[in-house]
Amino acid sequence: MDGSVNIINWFEISVSDIARAKKFYEAIFSIEMHQVEMMGMQMAFFPAENMNGKVSGALTQSPNHKPSTDGAVIYFNGNPDLSAALGKIEAAGGKIVMPKTLIDEQTGYMAFFIDSEGNKVALHSGK
């Protein structure tokens, strides 16, 4: 495999209610998500510019997508300080399950939350 390419190139977060989930993520990250129906699924895409070598993803609602707190955890970029997004989570309908926590001085900070759909998700930032 070419070392200049990310091993991960796409992610989907399973949701039960695409409108509720879209509203939640737009609120905590202050973004706009484009929603479409594709291949029998409802999808709302995280914004991404120039996807060359970058990872992005979508919220996805379908019979094959089930929200969960088990399994892989996606860490969203909370730079420069994840406190900004973390502070919006509960008002948007989520729950903080691990507050901002120092990993170490070099790596930065992390936090876990449950989104509006019941998925365990994380934030990471340098400060």
The enclosing H or E element of 77 equals strand 75-77
Provide the residue type at 100 as one letter.
Answer: K
Q: What is the CATH number of the domain that holds 38?
A: 3.10.180.10
Q: Does residue 4 lie in a domain region?
A: no
Tell me the pLDDT of the chain (127 aa) as tens digits: 455 666 788 899 999 999 999 999 999 999 999 999 999 999 999 998 766 667 889 999 999 999 999 989 999 999 999 999 999 999 999 999 999 999 999 999 999 999 999 999 999 999 9
Q: Does residue 1 lie in a domain region?
A: no
Q: Does residue 80 lie in a domain region?
A: yes
Q: Does residue 18 lie in a domain region?
A: yes
Q: Does residue 3 lie in a domain region?
A: no
- Domain of residue 43: give its range: 10-125
Q: How far apart are CA 67 and CA 58, in angstroms?
A: 13
Q: Does residue 89 lie in a domain region?
A: yes
Give the count of domains, the chain.
1
